[in-house]
Amino acid sequence: MIPRSPLDDPHKAAHAWARYLRIMRWMMLLTVTLVAIAIYLLYRSNGMVSIHFYIATALGIGFTMLLASALMGLVFLSSGTGHDETIVDPLEDDDAQR
């Protein structure tokens, strides 16, 4: 029988997702701040090169940071709620026999 995940409880799930959204809000603020700093430093060292250079830099830094923080936040959500412990490992018996 597959054990129930703690995220199946609506109260615990709402708490976990609220915490995840709070982490993502802080990471969004950090990302916007770092993108602004990076654009300023690039402009200060290179001058006005091309608007496409600055757009690509902002999108690249922003997308990379937000994707990394979203994935890491999901890892924290899964581990922090106990969802990871409810997974049934079908190879568990094979490991015990070796």
Residue type at position 4: R
Task: Indicate whether 75 belongs to any domain.
Answer: yes
Task: Indicate whether 10 belongs to any domain.
Answer: no
Q: Domain limits at 63?
A: 17-80
Q: In whole angstroms, what is the distance from residue 75 CA to residue 79 CA?
A: 6
- Domain count of the fold of the chain: 1
The pTM assigned to this predicted structure is 0.72
pLDDT at 75: 86
Task: Indicate whether 98 belongs to any domain.
Answer: no
Task: Indicate whether 48 belongs to any domain.
Answer: yes
Task: Indicate whether 36 belongs to any domain.
Answer: yes
Task: Indicate whether 74 belongs to any domain.
Answer: yes
Q: What is the mean pLDDT of each run of 10 residues along the chain (98 residues)?
A: 71 83 94 95 90 94 95 84 70 63
- φ and ψ of 83, to 5 deg: -65, -35
Contacts of 84 (CB under 8 A, 6+ apart): 78
Q: Is 42 exposed, middle or buried (0-12, 13-18, 19+ CB in 10 A)?
A: middle
pLDDT at 84: 64
Task: Indicate whether 6 belongs to any domain.
Answer: no
Q: In whole angstroms, what is the distance from residue 53 CA to residue 51 CA?
A: 5
